Amino acid sequence: MLTGQVANISVANETRKQYQTLRHYPADNNKYCYTLDVISRTRYLIRATFLYGDFDNNNVYPKFDISFGPTHWATIVISDADTIESQELIFLATDRTVSICLSNATTGVPFISTLELRQFNANYLVDVAPGTEKISTRMPIDVSRDERPPQKVMQTAVVGRNGSLTYRLNLDGFPAFGWAFTYFAEIEDLGPNDTRKFRLILPGDPDLSKAAVDIQENAQGKYRLYEPGYYNISLPFVLSFRFARTSDSTRGPLLNAMEINKYLKKSDGSSDGPLLADVAAAYSSAELALEGGDPKLSGKNLTGAIPVELTKLSGLVELWLDNNSLSGPIPDFSGCPNLRRIHLENNQLTGDLSSSLGDLSNLRELYVQNNRLSGKVPSGLLNKDMSLNYTGNPGLRNEGNKGNHKKIIIGTSVGASVLLIATIAAFFLLPKGKKKYPPTKGKFQHGVSTQKLMSSLGDNATEAAHYFPLSEIEDATNKFERKIGSGGFGVVYYGRLKDGREIAVKILTNDSFQGKREFSNEVSLLSRIHHRNLVQFLGYCQEDGKSILVYEFMHNGTLKEHLYGPLTHGRGINWIKRLEIAEDAAKGCFGVILLELISGQEAISNENFGINCRNIVQWAKLHIESGDIQGIIDPTLREYDIQSMWKIAEKALMCVQPHGSMRPSISEVIKEIQDAITIEKGTDAVRDGSSDEISRHSVHSSLNLGGSLDMGASDHYLSIDDSIARPTAR
């Protein structure tokens, strides 16, 4: 395993020297795997341990997943820098190697301190509680039964001298179905008149208590194994039971060992493994070969055709081949029915878009922009409820009917996102009786440069993009007299058309776009998108070296102006109004807007965030992951419920994850915002009724009770690691 970085931590205890070093990995969308050699059909114990020790000096407790091959094993949650977290798994090897993978870090970065692999011969030690006695023998025990527990385990036992053995176990991860067995062997010398008979007493299940256990009789002799148990039994989180001697028994109950395992649902993804290995082996990149887990194929300088093996991966959910130098046609992916996302942008692919892509029922994203595709976009893709980006392919034409597309076509620039931010506040602040203007009835007019633009736009140009002559724009703006805004994409001027409509005219700077192709993509995009939370795009102009976009004018300003602009003085937006804006904006925005609503800060500011945080995401993440949400809340907010604030902050961080698979769906975001609004309105009602008795901020805390051992009584207790996976059935 050559990826990842080694870090050293200080360990005071001499018995913990193995924890002085650890290996950590990036918090991205990859799996980082250890491949271990094993012997097929052999049972093993594997143990992974994690000691954080604040190795990265961030004091951010990591949370990430560990998996056994394709099967999710456990979620590692670090809650103390000096506490060792441990996970154990018992498995029956079915191949010559096994993989242990780290992935999906939601806080901090994934890391591992030690990884142990042992053939299954562990000894189980049982502490003795009052009223019990520990006994042992050196005599060999016949364990030739199905489960074959270790000899040394069966040579020890605990006996209830007061007539019973009582247990109460906290089984983390239950209620669930489990595999539970007990192991008995008579290892104590009994007198001629002595008998040992007992029953299992399980409260609430009298049927299990009917049968009596006579170890020597059931095992057919002394020093022989008897192993009653259940292959599939429903167990609660708190399991209370006892072994009680019968009325005709002279000796108390005896127990050598007990085992409870929780079933894990095994992911059946191994059939695609050899195919994926063939894909990785086809490339000479050492970096790709050493990644392990799910290879990341974006930006790997891959050349040639898309490997046909990929089209046979029935379990493939996401395909990221963007930013390479792949050529040739897009293959038929009908053999991948589970595909949800296909990213092929920024390659050199040729040919047409196959109509079979529209038959993939689970497909939600198809990005093929900036290739050399030609032909027509199939109507099956245009009418599908998905995100499709095919811009930057001059030879690719729209096959659908004009104005009847049900989908969102995403452009190559961030113009739409900027427009969304600009209109959110105005949507809530404008009067209800806003004047309705009739649509423009003028015909299209084209100059020389416009003809070039129309040529690059192809058949899409006449769909909705209205052309404004430069002279008309100059008249409307009085030769660009009133400047109302500026930014990285250009300067915005106020204007009024002859029909009375007020407009905002954006003159793009020379370096805002990379040539006429990008500008045509922008116009094509804006002419297609119609959303009540977007400023209405009215048209464009491209004359005398000027590239101009024309929008409707919003009287109440932008969200930026109301959060951290001139309109904040004396009339800031309160928290409940910001939540309502967020609820409506969630249908088309990202987590950046949520963070702006919480903090009242602009998205990019070296002055406010410092040299170590380039933008609001990095700045907010640093505070939120360290538990300091107060550090990002807008100080102008006077009253709010801290629980609703946490809900929005945590969801905002999820929305800005780098890969789509890690981000929540829009419906999840909306539900979280609506829950926050409910909390806030309820708090408002309480404030109005008894504001003197209620604290301004509510406090939310949680207590993690793991797989703890309850020592509240004086009987015998046993702690069981219920994270052990059920061995393969024999």
- Residues 272, 315: contact at Cβ < 8 Å? yes
Whether 327 and 222 map to the same domain: the answer is: no
Whether 390 and 293 map to the same domain: the answer is: yes
Percent helix, percent strand, percent coil in the chain, to nearest 5: 25, 25, 50
Contacts of 205 (CB under 8 A, 6+ apart): none
Among 512, 533, 552, the domain boundary falls at 552
| pLDDT > 50? residue 632 | yes
**Sign of the four-CA dihedral 500, 501, 502, 508:** negative
Q: Which residue has the higher pLDDT, 602 or 87?
A: 87
> Of 64-78, 344-358, 370-384, 615-629, which range is least confident?
615-629
Q: Which residue has the higher pLDDT, 465 or 648?
A: 648
Whether 570 and 513 map to the same domain: the answer is: no
CATH assignment at residue 254: 2.60.120
| pLDDT > 80? residue 714 | no
Among 528, 552, 576, the domain boundary falls at 552
Closest Cα partner for 673 from 648, 639, 642, 700?
Answer: 648
**pLDDT tens track for 261-317:** 888 877 655 565 666 666 666 655 544 544 445 556 788 788 889 888 888 887 788
142 is a domain residue: yes
Cβ-based burial of 310 (10 A; exposed 0-12, middle 13-18, buried ≥19): buried
Q: Cα–Cα–Cα angle for 534, 535, 538, nearest 5°?
A: 125
CA distances, 388 to each of 186, 366, 412 (Å): 71, 5, 12
Whether 303 and 225 map to the same domain: the answer is: no
Residue 535 is predicted with a pLDDT of 74
Residue 119 is predicted with a pLDDT of 81
509 is a domain residue: yes
Distance between CA atoms of 431 and 679, rounded to whole angstroms?
27
Distance between CA atoms of 238 and 169, rounded to whole angstroms?
6
Among 552, 567, 592, the domain boundary falls at 552
Q: How many CB atoms lie within 10 A of CB 356?
A: 14
Any alpha helices (H) in 46-186, and if so which ranges? 151-154
Q: Provide mean pLDDT across the span 600-621.
A: 74
| pLDDT > 90? residue 410 | no
Whether 239 and 328 map to the same domain: the answer is: no
Q: Can you read off the two tokens belonging to residue 165? A: 């053995």
Whether 247 and 313 map to the same domain: the answer is: no
267 is a domain residue: no
506 is in an annotated binding site: yes
| pLDDT > 50? residue 51 | yes
Whether 645 and 600 map to the same domain: the answer is: yes
Residue 529 is predicted with a pLDDT of 58
454: confidence class by pLDDT, cuts 50, 70, 90: very low
Whether 564 and 665 map to the same domain: the answer is: yes
Residue 700 is predicted with a pLDDT of 28
- Average model confidence (pLDDT) across the chain: 74
Q: Can you read off the two tokens belonging to residue 595? A: 């963070």
Q: Provide mean pLDDT across the span 63-78.
A: 90
Domain containing residue 230: 133-262
Please give the backbone phi and psi of residue 574, each rounded to the nearest 5 degrees, phi first. Answer: -75, 175
Please give the backbone phi and psi of residue 66, each rounded to the nearest 5 degrees, phi first. Answer: -125, 135
Most confident of the following: 273-277, 382-386, 585-589: 382-386
> Is the N-terminal amide bond of 175 cis, ω within 30° of 0?
yes
Whether 291 and 342 map to the same domain: the answer is: yes
163 is a domain residue: yes
- Residues 528, 418: contact at Cβ < 8 Å? no
| pLDDT > 50? residue 102 | yes
CATH assignment at residue 34: 2.60.120.260
Whether 254 and 308 map to the same domain: the answer is: no
**pLDDT tens track for 464-473:** 568 899 999 9
**pLDDT tens track for 423-444:** 444 444 444 333 333 333 333 3
Distance between CA atoms of 729 and 268, rounded to whole angstroms?
16
Whether 109 and 75 map to the same domain: the answer is: yes
| pLDDT > 70? residue 594 | yes
Residue 143 is predicted with a pLDDT of 87
Q: Which residue has the higher pLDDT, 206 or 195?
A: 195
CATH assignment at residue 476: 3.30.200.20
552: confidence class by pLDDT, cuts 50, 70, 90: confident
| pLDDT > 80? residue 690 | no
- Tokens 């004359």 sit at which residue? 543
Whether 627 and 572 map to the same domain: the answer is: yes
Contacts of 265 (CB under 8 A, 6+ apart): 71
Residue 715 is predicted with a pLDDT of 33
| pLDDT > 80? residue 106 | yes
402: confidence class by pLDDT, cuts 50, 70, 90: very low
Q: Can you read off the two tokens belonging to residue 206? A: 């009298």
591 is a domain residue: yes
476 is a domain residue: yes
495: confidence class by pLDDT, cuts 50, 70, 90: very high
**pLDDT tens track for 210-260:** 788 988 888 888 899 998 988 888 888 778 888 999 999 998 999 999 999
DSSP codes joined into one string, 506-548 = EEE-TTSSSSHHHHHHHHHHHHH---TTSPPEEEEEEETTEEE
| pLDDT > 60? residue 349 | yes
CATH assignment at residue 337: 3.80.10.10
446 is a domain residue: no
Q: Provide mean pLDDT across the span 647-669.
A: 77
- Bridge partners of 239, per DSSP, are 169
| pLDDT > 80? residue 720 | no
493 is a domain residue: yes
205: confidence class by pLDDT, cuts 50, 70, 90: confident
Distance between CA atoms of 160 and 169, rounded to whole angstroms?
18
CATH assignment at residue 569: 1.10.510.10
**Among residues of the chain, what percentage have pLDDT more than 90?**
16
How many independent structural domains does the chain possess?
5
Distance between CA atoms of 133 and 53, rounded to whole angstroms?
40
Q: How many CB atoms lie within 10 A of CB 479?
A: 9
- Residues 35, 105: contact at Cβ < 8 Å? no
